Amino acid sequence: MVLRAMASRPDGRSISIHRSYTVDEASRALGVCKATIRRWMKAGLPFLNDQKPSLILGLELKEFLK
């Protein structure tokens, strides 16, 4: 019998609505891998794409996590 840990949902309490995050910063703040953040971006997480690196607004990230 194999027991698997339940995947926990990232908690947005560590995200400030008054700043923007790179993919790397968002992944560290939420404790998820960068690929997860990129998947969320493909799934509809709004981000600013007109500059490099792409930025995610804290307010938008919190809303997406709800």
Q: Considering only CA atoms, which of 60, 65, 64, 63 is closest in space to residue 20?
A: 60
Q: Considering only CA atoms, which of 25, 18, 30 is closest in space to residue 57?
A: 18
Q: pLDDT for 32-44, tens place per residue?
A: 999 999 999 999 9
For the cut 60, the answer to whether the pLDDT of residue 5 exceeds it is no
Residue 52 DSSP label: S
> What's the whole-model pTM score?
0.82
